[in-house]
Amino acid sequence: MALLDVVDLNKNKVGSIELEDAIFAAPVKRHLLTEIVHWQRACRRVGTQSALTKGEVNGRTQKPFPQKGRGSARQGSLKNPHMIGGGVAFAPKPRDYSYHMPKAKRRAALASALSARVQENSLVIVKDFDLQEAKTKVVASALQSLQTPKALVVDSNNVSLKRATKNLSTAKFLDQKGLNVYDILSYPSLIMTQKAVETLQARLLGE
């Protein structure tokens, strides 16, 4: 097990915490991270694109002009895809882009992403992130003190922190239950409270 410093919101050391090797010292597998990011992006796709096919376009079904005598190619309908105002061939329709990803892969990728942040010294563990008032400027000031203006902030059941982080364009709050590879890799720094680390380790090792 590795020991990591625990700091307060002014970045003063107040203790240390043991990190499980299976979660914070796992091999960093870039191919696995890529696979999980693609899966997460596919699951987040809304899939509401839609276009009209030949059968759905409003219009007449009779021939637009006589078949013979004009010297041009015969046409059967103005709604054909090659006609102006016609339908779309193989038109896209609403669909679900999500697919199944094995739980073992998801866990391995999460451990890989967390281990990468540890190796890069981009993981900051704070004693707690309790706010006396849920204001954005308080969180912004704390992030500046921790020298992590762009960061993903992770805690457990911290409603005030969640509300205060909403308006920050350079930071995002996540509960430890929702910690995922895509969000970890989207921010250069990861801030976790000691409670979040302990809860996350207990949850992942107990599954």
77-134: per-residue pLDDT in tens? Answer: 999 999 999 999 999 999 999 999 999 999 999 999 999 999 999 999 999 998 888 8
Strand partners, 152: 172, 190
Beta-strand pair 189-193/171-175: unpaired
* Per-residue confidence (pLDDT) for residue 160, from 0 to 100: 92
Q: Which of 35-39, 47-51, 203-207 has the lowest mean pLDDT?
A: 203-207
**pLDDT class for 169, splitting at 50, 70, 90?**
very high
**Residue ranges of domains in the chain, CATH in brackets:** 2-45+99-206 (3.40.1370.10), 48-96 (no CATH)
Q: In sequence order, what are the residues at sequence separation of 6 or more whose Cβ sits closer than 8 angstroms to the Cβ of residue 178? A: none
- Smallest CA-to-CA distance from 118 within 172, 186, 190 is with 190
Cα-based distances in Å from 126 to 33, 70, 96, 153, 194: 26, 81, 40, 10, 6
* Per-residue confidence (pLDDT) for residue 60, from 0 to 100: 82
Checking if the pLDDT of 59 tops 90, the result is: no
Distance CA 81, CA 192 (A): 55
pTM score? 0.85
